[in-house]
A and B are shown apart, each in its own frame.
Chain A
Amino acid sequence: MGSPATGASTWRLLVVTVIILTALAVLPRFVEIYQTQLLTYGLVFAIAALGFNLLLGYTGLLSFGHSAYFGAGAYAVAFIVRDLGVQSMELCILGGLAATILIAALFGFVCVRHTRIFFGILTLALSQVLWSLAFKFFWVTGGTDGIRVASAKLTLYGGLINFAGPGAFQRFVYAYYYYVLALFAVSTVIMWVIVHSPFGKALQAIRDNEVRARFVGISVQRYRWIAFMISGAFTGLAGILWVPLNGLTTPDILYWPFSGEIVFMSVLGGFRTFTGPIVGAVVFNYLKTYAVASTEYWQLLLGLVLVILVMALPTGIVGTVARMTSKLRGRI
């Protein structure tokens, strides 16, 4: 993470990225439609975890309330589609992002006054405010029934692609996969630029030593606040993209165990690396889907994975793989 990007490593990074993106782009031709759908979910969660990790990995703040921003994005889209009759997904994204950033700005303003455990509790308490509102104001939010957002009503790319007529579901799955993939690629690039910009370096300085960062002249609270908003916006985008895929938004995505799942994803992949949360989110999605499908006690399974992970592999998948490859290389 810390090493300066030299010419050679930038090239290698670019090549690897192109290969991965190409592989992701051609994948739907070779797998079943269900797998494509599953991977879309994985990419959506990857955006969420990417945003979350700007706070945990780069700013050193553990939020236990990121369900708030995921849910805010999701509910904003549901309201926009249901109450304003908007069909264009692009307008939904704009509206949803505006709503999420507003809430993240408000909550962030409060939360960045604290660090460590109090930051975690504050973010959790505030996210539960939103949950309780979505839960209780059932005549607005549908309560536990949630709000249905039919994918057939939406259009992509400013109305170029719509989903009316026969075979709509299949067309939606494929079109939406590429839509999410494109936004995922854009989000990843933006996040990469952010964490490698002077702003990103300042966040890392704050993470490593707050007092010194302040001495250097960084206004710590304001930087944390901005990071909080960016983080919320990314997670909000994930919530926005998740709604048409899921077809329904319920208070579950605002409830605090969902925040725990976002934390889980980042730790699974390794929050000390840039790619960790992405890998973690995709893997977590597969893990959870298959655990739920194969046993009634999937929570037990995931809980065991989490405990073992923290005890034995605190650097996550990416960190462990990196360590193993460098060991292998050293031997050769």
Chain B
Amino acid sequence: MTIFIIQILNSFFYAAVLFLIAAGLSLIYGVMRIVNLAHGTLYALGAYVSAWVVGSALGHAVSGTLGLAGLLLLLPIGAVVVAAVGAVIEPTLLRPLYRRPEEYHLLVTFGLLMIMEDVIKFLFGPTPLTAGLIMDRMGSLPIGLLIYPTYNLVVIATGFFAAIGLWWFIYRTRFGVILRATSQDRRMASALGINVGRVYIQAFAIGCFMAGLGGAIVVPAQAAVLGIGIEVLVLAFVVVVVGGLGSLEGALVGALIVSFVRTAGIQFFPEIELAVLYLIATAVLLVRPTGLFGRA
């Protein structure tokens, strides 16, 4: 029974991270119709920057002056940096492409992926970075006869609040209305006096922020290593394909499905755990091409 609870918590942990990545991917596709192959690498960048910031802060601060809360507050810096990178990428690299076929979107973002993978290697070196100290300091909670790291609950809470925050932002604010209008009809929005170019930058930056936040909150639990972005991108694809590209609810439900299937898979059928996920995505695409929550 205890194992069962822990596995469920693990699934939620995993779902929180996946949701952050997939929601960003979906938001960007929903607004700009761009499938961003570099999205996973943005997640990796967030993880690296946060780990580096936490590591340097620990190295420079006088011992004891930097409390746990201080370290936790340093984590989102990674997400902010990634958002800033996104705000530069969109107008320079992506904007000239909107009028061209989708193939070129994939190609440019694939090129971007290659560039950013090496930039990360150049900036942070080939050794893994981690902010594991945060996790250690937070200790763990007893669950039944076992213990569970408290930090994982922070991640789950972050995912939960990010989902609510994003929902509120898109459906309950003025900016959300503008965003949805632009996503539905770009030219009409532009005719109504909306500065579409600015909305695109903001939307792309928010999407990048989500990916960076995913990386930032995962790095105290798992080290940032080269190639994590490439690995996670395909899983994020599975999430958005299952949930529906461009749908926020879809990203949430997709992330939950993928993480529960994966947790069960690791427990019961470890060899085909990944294959099953990709097959689920294929099956959903065949039966419901727009995903569970997607619009045509």
Beta-carbon contact of A136 and B272 below 8 Å? yes
Task: Say yes or no: A263-B107 contact (C-beta < 8 A), given A125-B237, A125-B281, A306-B114.
Answer: yes
8 A Cβ contacts from B239-254 to A: 241, 245
What is the size category of the interface that chain B forms with chain A?
35 or more
Cβ of A267 to closest chain B Cβ, rounded Å: 6
Beta-carbon contact of B282 and A117 below 8 Å? no
Beta-carbon contact of B282 and A299 below 8 Å? no
Closest to B102 in A: A117
Stretch of B71-79, B117-125, B145-153, B217-225 that contacts chain A? B117-125
Contacts of B67 in A (CB 8 A): none
Beta-carbon contact of A121 and B237 below 8 Å? yes
Tell me if A227 counts as interface (CB < 8 A to partner B): no
Closest to B33 in A: A117
Cβ of A316 to closest chain B Cβ, rounded Å: 11
Task: A256 to B289: give the CA distance in the assembly, Å.
Answer: 21
Beta-carbon contact of A257 and B104 below 8 Å? no
Tell me if B238 counts as interface (CB < 8 A to partner A): yes
Beta-carbon contact of B237 and A124 below 8 Å? yes
Contacts of B282 in A (CB 8 A): 110, 122, 125-126, 129
Contacts of B178 in A (CB 8 A): none
8 A Cβ contacts from B22-38 to A: 35, 37
Cβ of B150 to closest chain A Cβ, rounded Å: 32
Task: A191 to B122: give the CA distance in the assembly, Å.
Answer: 42
Contacts of A126 in B (CB 8 A): 278, 282
Tell me if B112 counts as interface (CB < 8 A to partner A): yes
Question: A56, A117, A122, A311: which contacts B96 (Cβ < 8 A)?
Answer: A311
Tell me if A319 counts as interface (CB < 8 A to partner B): no
Cβ of B18 to closest chain A Cβ, rounded Å: 16
Question: B37, B111, B117, B271: which contacts A136 (Cβ < 8 A)?
Answer: B271
Task: Say yes or no: A128-B119 contact (C-beta < 8 A), given A64-B106, A117-B35, A307-B93.
Answer: no
Contacts of A122 in B (CB 8 A): 282, 285
Write the B107-134 contact mask toward A (1 if CB under 8 angstroms, else 0): 1101111111111011000000000000
Cβ of B277 to closest chain A Cβ, rounded Å: 8
Q: List 18 A-B contacts (CB under 8 A).
A: A114-B285, A114-B289, A118-B289, A122-B282, A125-B234, A136-B275, A256-B234, A260-B113, A297-B122, A298-B118, A299-B115, A303-B113, A303-B118, A306-B111, A306-B114, A307-B108, A311-B93, A311-B96
> 7 shortest A-B CB distances, which residue pairs?
A303-B114, A306-B111, A132-B274, A300-B118, A303-B115, A307-B111, A297-B118
